[in-house]
């Protein structure tokens, strides 16, 4: 299974070819796609506020991983370590990275430079 970050879901919703090609590749391998409840939050908090009907339909196609205490703790440790090193990636991305690590899923993102700061994270860049 592979976890999509928020920007990947947005790009998919816009029909961008780079993310579509990654999804086709994963589909051919029988890989399932998931998103974190953190991504649902980010989409709902975006502009405009709330999740538009088209995005709701898109979200429903993924397995949604609720944030567990273990994932939250891992995200907090990532956040604190990177912040202390002056390499902060933000709260939400730290949590998404924590989910990916605890679930042992590769993270699909266009922002590999950002997530490469997280030790041990498997990244699938598009």
Euclidean distance between CA atoms 11 and 28, whole angstroms: 20
Q: What is the pLDDT of residue 53?
A: 81
Which strands make up the sheet holding 106-109, listed edge to edge? 63-65, 33-36, 2-4, 106-109, 123-125
In 3D, which of 94, 93, 99, 97 has the Cα closest to residue 71? 99
Helix (H) or strand (E) holding 108: strand 106-109
| Positive or negative: CA dihedral 46, 92, 34, 67 | negative
Q: What is the pLDDT of residue 93?
A: 98
Q: What is the pLDDT of residue 52?
A: 78
Given a contact cutoff of 8 angstroms between Cβ atoms, the answer to whether 115 and 107 are in contact is yes
Token output for 50: 């709330």
Tens of pLDDT, residue by residue over 51-65, are 778 888 889 999 999
pTM attached to this predicted model: 0.93
Look up the CATH number of the domain holding residue 60.
Answer: 3.40.50.1010
| Residue range(s) defining the domain that contains residue 72 | 2-125
- Work out the mean pLDDT of the chain and round it to a whole number: 94
**Which is more confidently placed, 81 or 46?**
81
In 3D, which of 66, 71, 10, 56 has the Cα closest to residue 34? 66
Token output for 27: 């589909």
Q: How many domains does the chain have?
A: 1
């Amino acid at each position: 299974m592979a976890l999509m970050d928020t920007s990947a879901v947005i790009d998919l919703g816009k029909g961008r070819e780079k993310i579509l090609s990654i999804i086709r590749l994963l589909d051919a391998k029988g890989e399932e796609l998931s998103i974190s409840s953190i991504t649902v939050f980010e989409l709902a908090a975006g502009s405009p506020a709330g999740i538009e009907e088209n995005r709701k339909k898109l979200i429903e196609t993924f397995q949604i991983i609720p944030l567990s205490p273990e994932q939250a703790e891992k995200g907090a440790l990532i956040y604190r370590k990177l912040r202390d090193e002056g390499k902060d990636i933000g709260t939400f991305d730290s949590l998404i990275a924590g989910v990916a690590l605890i679930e042992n899923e590769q993270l699909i993102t266009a922002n590999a430079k950002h997530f490469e700061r997280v030790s041990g994270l498997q990244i699938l860049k598009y």
